[in-house]
Amino acid sequence: MADIIQLLPDHVANQIAAGEVVQRPASVVKELLENAIDAKADTITLVVKDAGKTLVQVIDNGIGMSNTDARLSFERHATSKIRVAEDLFHLNTKGFRGEALASIAAIAHVELITRREMDELGTQIKIEGSKVISQEVITAPFGTSIAVKNLFYNIPARRNFLKSDAVELRHVIDEFHRVALAHPDIAFTLYHNNGELFNLPASNLRQRVVNVFGGKTNEKLVPVNEETEIAGITGFVGKPSFARKSRGEQFFFVNDRFVKSSYLHHAITAAFEGLLPQKCHPTYFLYFNIDPEKIDINIHPTKTEIKFEDEHSLYAILRSAVKHSLGQFNVAPVLDFQHDSNMDTPYSYKNREAAVPKIQVDPTFNPFKEDGPVKKTFSGAGYKKESGSWENLYVGLESKVGKQELGVSTISFESEEVTGHLFTDKEKEEQQAITTYQLHSKYIVSTIKSGMVVIDQYRAHQRVLYEQLLANMTIKDTVSQQLLFPLQLNYTSAEVSLLKPLKDDLERAGFVFTAVEENNVEITGIPINVTESEVTAILDELLSDLQQEVPDTGFSQIDMLAKSMAKSIAVKGGMQLETMAQERLVNDLFACKEPSVSPFNKPTFITISVAELDKKFS
């Protein structure tokens, strides 16, 4: 039998490695930015076109490469970071496997231009699908510029799996944030389709966070600082009052490398226990400084997961450090605008003794004296007697006003009519007209021919609103209510980039936008069934849904928007409804096309027949 095991060709092996390293354009951004940082650059520019599908280019002013190094950098397992296996546990750099450039070159057109500061001329290399097209000596500034064009051009199936430009751009921005936040001492710039999205100058950590997520972020941050033998922890956590329903602003960095850790996230959640509103998530930007020998980062292809030698102690340290910082925040002085200054004790009364009140009593006063009561009035000199009796007030009254004038003889008393009915006829009619009953402020019970129906008011209202919003956004225009003062909302650049494609659909739903710019959204009109206080919650919920499941363009995007808005606006369980509102909700529900399920395919009502009730009593 012939041998069946054979070595793979290099270009096939590179494409297999690319499957681990490069899932989307954001993966290329991560690898190239990390290479620029390892090259000791202090200014890095990222240029992206069509969300990275057409072009991803990184330009840095690092140390550059020689002619030989430039050529070897595209070979598999070629690296300058490690020499022996033990070096894996002494890593202080980003990349070390040596597969990034080789994997990227296998699935794209790559052009590299690099020059060291000591060299007069630089090197230009062009590679297509792992094949070196040209290598030339050219004039170039010192540093490195690498451009990755036409990603997945030779693997159409992989290219078809890419999402829309809005989705891919969000992933690119996420990777850009992770690298930029880890290195505040490096200046970063991001351009997309010839437009500048970010321009982050070199700064300290707090300024970098504010520059990335907007000026309003500064007031939300609480500093965290803890130094122990196991690890040093610095960074910031968000104040509980600014917690949001989305989980976007959560970052862990270990030795300046972004990592994901559900274990450490649980420590943060435990520290915030009892402080966050329901279904809200904390914000944190935390940096760990740990001995490289006590961690293992070579457990995941993208190096976003990490293994700690003593994770239980790290958990306890992190939880205590965050709790301590939140405790310091809670004891900070606050302005009390309800304080009444009239209740303050004057400083002049500080050392004065309390004066005992004096009581003045008239020892001669006797209310039961027979010769008539004595009327007493108090003046500055004491009590003054006034003689007279109460009978004198009515002397001569009968002579002046007779009984006929008083109308005493004509006075009649109104007697109450005694009936045997608890309610009047009108009240009985109203009682008979009531066909719904609200149970525990959550369910609506109504009668039907075969028995009764129990409706979940939250899910039922979701279905009603969903179909109304969908009709408004696809068939007809809705009516907006104009605001007296525009609403100013602050969002990050990534969130604004998600809202921009939805602007037209939101306006068809009833919102009126006058500005959708970087870190700023201005609204002057809202749908008629939405209050001004609900706008922020609706958009936050929408952004959270978009970040978890961003649909492509078309009907699915409108459907997603209608579902998200219906979920935010619908009456929640625990809200008391008047009888008229209950009946209207029941009627609107059964007028829907799909009344039996909510927009999220959960049942809106159940029916209980008379036969089932009879069985309960049998």
pLDDT per position as a tens digit, 376-411: 555 544 555 555 555 555 566 555 555 555 555 555
Residue 256 CB-density burial (10 A; 0-12 exposed, 13-18 middle, 19+ buried):
middle
Tally of CB atoms within 10 A around 603 = 11
CB 231 within 8 A of CB 267: no
Lowest mean pLDDT across 28-32, 63-67, 325-329 = 325-329
* Side chain identity, residue 298: N
Sign of CA dihedral 268, 270, 275, 277: positive
H or E segment and range at residue 399: helix 397-400
Residues of the chain above pLDDT 90, percent: 22
- Residue 483 backbone dihedrals phi, psi, to 5 degrees: -90, 145
CATH 1.10.510.10 fits 437-607, yes or no: no
| Centroid of chain to Cα 74 | 41
The mean per-residue pLDDT over the stretch 10-21 comes to 67
Under 8 Å CB-to-CB from 120, ≥6 apart: which residues?
A: none
Pull the structure tokens for residue 491. 């969002």
d(CA 192, CA 198) in angstroms, rounded, equals: 10
Residue 495's pLDDT band, with cuts at 50, 70 and 90, is confident
pLDDT computed for residue 286 by the predictor:
94
Pull the structure tokens for residue 184. 């505040």
pLDDT computed for residue 331 by the predictor:
37
At residue 462, does pLDDT exceed 70? yes
Residue ranges per structural domain of the chain: 10-200, 205-328, 437-607
What single-letter DSSP state applies at residue 197? E
What's the CATH class of domain 10-200? alpha beta
* Side chain identity, residue 35: N
pLDDT in tens, 40-63: 899 999 999 998 999 999 999 999
Under 8 Å CB-to-CB from 253, ≥6 apart: which residues?
A: 181, 182, 235, 259, 286, 287, 288
Options 3.30.230.10, 3.40.50.2300, 3.40.190.10, 3.60.9.10; CATH of 205-328? 3.30.230.10
The mean per-residue pLDDT over the stretch 408-421 comes to 55
pLDDT computed for residue 390 by the predictor:
56
pLDDT computed for residue 563 by the predictor:
84
Q: How many CA atoms does the CB half-sphere of 223 hold within 13 Å?
A: 5
Q: What totals of helices (H) and strands (E) does the chain contain, helices first?
A: 19, 24
- Residue 39 backbone dihedrals phi, psi, to 5 degrees: -80, 10
Query: How far is CA 68 from each of CA 64, 127, 175, rounded to the nearest angstrom?
Result: 12, 15, 30
d(CA 510, CA 482) in angstroms, rounded, equals: 10
pLDDT computed for residue 555 by the predictor:
55
More confident residue, 17 or 205: 205
The mean per-residue pLDDT over the stretch 163-189 comes to 89
At residue 149, does pLDDT exceed 50? yes
What rounded mean pLDDT belongs to the chain? Answer: 79
The mean per-residue pLDDT over the stretch 538-546 comes to 77
d(CA 608, CA 452) in angstroms, rounded, equals: 5
Pull the structure tokens for residue 134. 């040209």
Q: How many CA atoms does the CB half-sphere of 450 hold within 13 Å?
A: 7
- Which range has the top average pLDDT, 360-364, 541-545, 571-575, 597-601? 597-601
pLDDT computed for residue 345 by the predictor:
63
- Which range has the top average pLDDT, 173-177, 211-215, 516-520? 173-177
d(CA 530, CA 567) in angstroms, rounded, equals: 12
At residue 333, does pLDDT exceed 50? no
Residues of the chain above pLDDT 70, percent: 77
At residue 124, does pLDDT exceed 70? yes
Q: Where are the alpha helices (DSSP H) in 87-226?
A: 100-105, 156-160, 165-182, 205-213
